[in-house]
Amino acid sequence: MPSSIDRPFQKIAVIGQGYVGLPLALLFVNKGHTVYGVDVDPKKIEGLRQGVSYLPDVQDEELRWSLATERYHPTDRYEKVAEADAIIICVPTPLNASHSPDLTILEKAVVEIGKFLHKGQMVILESSTYPGTTREVLQPLLEKESGLTAGIDFHIGYSPERIDPGNKDYKVEQIPKIVSGLTATCVESAQALYSSVFDKVVRVSSPDVAELTKLLENSHRLINISFMNEIAAICDKMNIDVWEVIEAAQTKPFGFTAYYPGPGIGGHCIPVDPLYLQWKAQKFGTESKFIQLSDEINRSIPSYIMNRVKAILAKQSAPEHASILLYGVAYKKDINDACV
């Protein structure tokens, strides 16, 4: 394991120690940086301090090694932000009750960061969000709280997270990292920061492009998975095995990518991110009909699955009030993120 390094961004504050923030924090530690892992959940922080991981992708041994280096410091104190050269924000950006963007958690985090921000620091947003968030939300809040000017007194940019929980084929550092910045100097700083830990860094022209890139990736998955759920229902009516159809189709070496049906689409990203894009598009007087339809299909699938189960039980003369055991309620294998 590496020991220490001599780089412009030696100390990193990673805000949020969840599915995105914790693996990222440990990656920076592994590459020789000192990291302050900030999270407002005291129970989570205490567990991390004890070397106990709550994520399947992070082993206790990896966490304990990071702690043993004395370069990983889990904390619930935002004051540690003042000691960092770079601040990376990885907090949740969910939907509200009306399925519109809810940036409450992000805004609270940014306000706290702004209180301790000083000249020369770099602030990067990684949370999935709509195009314009970096310029319209992150920048003005930081400037208001700190009294500093973005692009002059401190650097600011956006780099979409691409963590795929449960994916053992790609390590975090092997996934190309997209970076952007408010100014040319900002994006150069972002590239320098991430180049110290990622195998490949891809620069784009603006934070808006980087923000939309993430939404495009997950909208692409939402639309295709929802389509396969629709195909599954059609195959059921035709008494055709949809799995056999997919297996046959993917033997074609070009022009087809296999997606698979399931009981809806779970996780923190795919059901949420496309609606961030839809919400922003509507602000410009347009919309995505594909996203709208896919969201409707996705939301209908749990009821469809329930009705299919009822029909199957009825054919088997099961008791009217039969009990059903659900084995595995995560949205995909090898993760502990339950779909409830």
For 169, the 3-state DSSP assignment is coil
Backbone angles phi, psi at 336, to 5 degrees: -110, 25
Catalytic option among 90, 186, 235, 269: 269
Backbone angles phi, psi at 154, to 5 degrees: -145, 155
Contact 196/5 with Cβ under 8 angstroms? yes
Looking at this protein, which amino acid is placed at residue 60? D
Exposure b/e, 88-105, CB count within 10 A at least 16 = b: bbbbbbeeeeeeebbbee
DSSP 198-216: -S-EEE-S-HHHHHHHHHH
User: Is residue 269 flagged as an active site residue?
Assistant: yes
Distance between CA atoms of residues 301 and 230, nearest Å = 9
Q: How many residues does the chain have?
A: 340
Distance between CA atoms of residues 201 and 216, nearest Å = 19
Cα–Cα distance list, 140 to 11, 62, 87 (Å)? 24, 38, 16
DSSP 9-23: --EEEEE--STTHHH
Residues labelled as active-site residues: 269
